[in-house]
Amino acid sequence: MNSRTLALLAGITATAPALTAPAQTQTPAQPPRPPNILFCIADDASYAHFGANGCSWVRTPAFDRVAREGLLFTHAYTPNSKCAPSRAVVLTGRNSWQLESAANHGGYYPQGYTTFMEALGKNGYFAGYTAKGWAPGEPGKIDGKPRQLTGLNYSAIKTTPPTDGISPIDYAANFEAFLKDWKTKHPGEPFAFWYGSHEPHRKYEYGTGVSLAHKKLTDIDHIPAFWPDNEKVRNDLLDYSLEIEYYDTHLARMIALLEKMGELDNTIIIVTSDNGMPFPRYKGTTYEFSTHEPLAIRWPAGIKNPGRVVNDYVSFIDFAPTFMDIARVDPAKAGMMPITGKTLTPIFRDEYPGKTAPGRDILVTGQERHDVGRPNDEGYPVRGLFAGDWIYLRNFEPTRWPMCDPITGYLNTDGGPTKTEVLNENRLGLNHWRWELDFGRRPADELYNLKTDPECLSNQAANPACADRLKTMRDRLYAILKEQKDPRMEGRGEIFDNYPHTPDGRYFYNRYLAGEKFRANWVTPTDFESPDFDPERPLAPKTPPTLKPTPPELTAPAAQKPTAGGGKRKGKKTSPQNASPQNASPDE
C-alpha cells in the first residue's frame, strides 16, 4: 500500500466516527467567573467633597485612585436623600415610591422585595457587610431570625477611633475577616461585600478637623449662601471633612488587602454615599446639593478606556441591575421585583463615546416621610425631575413644614453647629431669609437653573419666561411617575403617611405635645422652638456682639427668597396616639 493510499485511509478514519458512532464531545470552555463586588457607601457625604471632584480641603486618595483607574461620574444622584430609603433604592433597583413602606425612613422593610445582596447570596456569591447596611428601620424576619438584607454581618472587630464621633468598628479589619472566611469556606465562589461606613454621619467632635487633621479654617474656599460664614460653621465643615477622610482610609486598606491577595483586578469596586451631608438644606431635601452624590467605579476587566469622566445622569436605581448583569443572575428568577433602573455596563463598554447614553438625559427624584416630627407622623411628599441644567420640584403638601415642625426641633435636619447658627440668627432677628431657605415652608412648584444657580436660591417657577419649561418638565415628570405606578399619581398618596414608623419614634409630635419626654439624640435640645414660636419675630431687638450681621454683599436679594414658607405654626389640634413611651432612636 503506497503512502498516498495510507494518507487517504487516515483521512477517512479520522472522519469516520462522525458517520458511524456518537462523536466524542468536548467540554465547552467555562465562562470566566463573575467578578467580586465591593460596594462602598459613606453615610451622609456630598458629591463636592471628594478630591477627584475638585475639592482641595478634603483628601480622598483612595476614592481618587478608583476614579483615576476606572470611571468618575459627575451626575450620580440618589432618588431619595435620606439613609433608609436611599439604601432601599440601591438594594432593589426601584424608586422609593415603588417600595411601599421602604419609601419612608425609620419604618419597616416590606417582605416581598428581595435585595440584590440576597439574590447574589442565593446564586453563587458569598455575601456580607460591615457596619451600616439598610438602616434605620426594622428589616423583618425569615424563619424567626432577622433578615439579612446585605448579607452576613462582619462588624465584631473594633478599634480605637480618632474621635468620639467616629464609630469604633474597624471596617477594613472586618473586611479582612470576611475575606478569610471566603477563601477557606467558599473557594471558587465570587464575593459581594457591602462596606457601610458610619462616617461622616453626625455627631462630630468639635474642632478635630483643625486639631487632628491640621486643617485651617481658610482652607475652605466656599460657604453656601444659606449658612453663615463664621468660625463655628467652618469648624463644622472641617470636622465633617475629617470623617470623610476616615472613610477613605478604610477604603485604601481594603484595596490593599485585595491587591495583596491578587484579587484587585478580579473585583469591581463602587464608591459612593447614600445622601447629602448632614447640614441645613442638604440631607433630607430634594435640592441639587442634597441628592448629588460621589461615584467612582473601578473594574479593569469590564471597563473600556479607564480614566474617563462620565457626565450622563446616573441614578442609584441603576446599581442593582448592574450587579445582577455582571453576576449573570436573572433578577426575576432570583425573586426580585421588576427593576426600574438600567445597567451601567453599556457605559463601562464605552458604547456611546462622546455622547449621552439613551435615556440618561433626565433623572427623577423625590421623598415621602423622613424623620417624624409632624402631626400624626405626616411626611413631606416631593417629586422632582432633573433635565439638562434644570431641576423641577413638586411639593404636594406645601402647608407642612419640610424639615419637620419647629416646636419638635426641625427633626429632619440633624443637629450641629451650623444648624444652631442659622436658628440663633433667626431668633435674634438676623438674616431671616436664611431660615426661610433652610427651614421655612415651600411653594408647590420650584424650578431652578443649576448652571447659574447651583445652590437653588432663586426659584423661577413664577417667572413668566419659564412657564413653558415648568409645564414641560411637570408633564414629563408626571408621565414617568404614572408609568411607574406612583400612588401619588393615583390619588393614594396618604398611604405613605399611614405606613407606621418603628415604635421608638412613632407619633413623636403627638406624644411630645402631650408632655412625653424624648431623647431625640440626632438633634440638640436648643433646636426645639417654643409652642408660640413665630419665625418673623426676633427674640432680641439688637444684634449682640457675638453675632455679626451678614455683609450686604452676601445678603440674598429679595428675588432669591422663596415665594412661600415661614410664618406661625398652623394651629392644628391633634390627639396623642397609642404608642409605647420609649425614647426616639438616633437617625443612623
Its sign, for the CA torsion 264, 267, 268, 273, is negative
pLDDT score for 570:
33
- Is the peptide bond between 355 and the residue preceding it cis, with omega within 30 degrees of 0? no
**Cα(271)–Cα(296) distance, rounded to whole angstroms?**
5
Question: 552: Cβ–Cβ under 8 A, 6 or more apart, which residues?
Answer: none
Assess whether pLDDT exceeds 90 at residue 248: yes
Assess whether pLDDT exceeds 80 at residue 569: no
pLDDT score for 138:
97
pLDDT score for 578:
29
Q: Are 48 and 282 in contact (CB under 8 A)?
A: no
- Name the residue with cell 454615599: 273
Question: What nine digits make up the cell of 534?
Answer: 413665630
Q: In the predicted model, what is the mean pLDDT of residues 227-239? A: 98
In this prediction, residue 536 has a pLDDT band, given cuts at 50, 70 and 90, of confident
Q: For 36-356, which CATH class? A: alpha beta
Query: Any alpha helices (H) in 262-305, and if so which ranges?
Result: 288-291
Question: What nine digits make up the cell of 110?
Answer: 416590606
Q: In the predicted model, what is the mean pLDDT of residues 118-144? A: 97
The pLDDT tens digits of the residues spanning 186-199 come to 999 999 999 999 99
Assess whether pLDDT exceeds 90 at residue 147: yes
How does the average pLDDT of the chain come out, rounded? Answer: 89
- Name the residue with cell 433597583: 93
**Cα(577)–Cα(574) distance, rounded to whole angstroms?**
9
Between helix 61-69 and helix 231-261 the angle, nearest 10°, is 50
Higher pLDDT among residues 15 and 208, named by residue: 208
pLDDT score for 537:
73
Q: What ranges do the domains of the chain cover? A: 36-356, 366-560
Question: What nine digits make up the cell of 155?
Answer: 462588624
- What's the chain's Rg over C-alpha atoms? 27
**CA triplet 213, 66, 363: central angle to 5 degrees?**
100
pLDDT score for 556:
34
- Is the peptide bond between 443 and the residue preceding it cis, with omega within 30 degrees of 0? no
pLDDT score for 5:
37
pLDDT score for 585:
42
Assess whether pLDDT exceeds 70 at residue 447: yes
Lowest mean pLDDT among 110-114, 172-176, 178-182, 571-575: 571-575
In this prediction, residue 361 has a pLDDT band, given cuts at 50, 70 and 90, of very high
- Name the residue with cell 409630635: 509
The pLDDT tens digits of the residues spanning 448-458 come to 999 999 999 99
Q: Are 224 and 421 in contact (CB under 8 A)?
A: no
Q: Which of 255, 240, 208, 226 is nearest to 48 (CA)?
A: 240
**Cα(352)–Cα(197) distance, rounded to whole angstroms?**
34
Backbone angles phi, psi at 241, to 5 degrees: -65, -35
In this prediction, residue 517 has a pLDDT band, given cuts at 50, 70 and 90, of confident
pLDDT score for 26:
54
The pLDDT tens digits of the residues spanning 19-64 come to 334 444 455 555 689 999 999 999 999 999 999 999 999 999 999 9
CA distances, 146 to each of 5, 19, 257, 502 (Å): 76, 61, 30, 15
Q: In the predicted model, what is the mean pLDDT of residues 228-250? A: 98
pLDDT score for 575:
30
Assess whether pLDDT exceeds 70 at residue 111: yes
pLDDT score for 579:
31
Query: SS3 sequence, 296-365?
Result: EEECCCCCCCCCEEECCCEEHHHHHHHHHHHCCCCCCCCCCCCCCCCCCHHHHCCCCCCCCCCCCCEEEE
Question: 449: Cβ–Cβ under 8 A, 6 or more apart, which residues?
Answer: 389, 390, 458, 460
The pLDDT tens digits of the residues spanning 420-442 come to 999 999 999 999 999 999 999 99
Assess whether pLDDT exceeds 90 at residue 365: yes
**Cα(343)–Cα(212) distance, rounded to whole angstroms?**
41
pLDDT score for 467:
98
Higher pLDDT among residues 545 and 516, named by residue: 516
DSSP conformational letter for 466: G
The pLDDT tens digits of the residues spanning 73-82 come to 999 999 999 9
The pLDDT tens digits of the residues spanning 258-286 come to 999 999 999 999 999 999 999 999 999 99
Question: 150: Cβ–Cβ under 8 A, 6 or more apart, which residues?
Answer: 91, 115, 117, 127, 128, 129, 133, 134, 194, 196
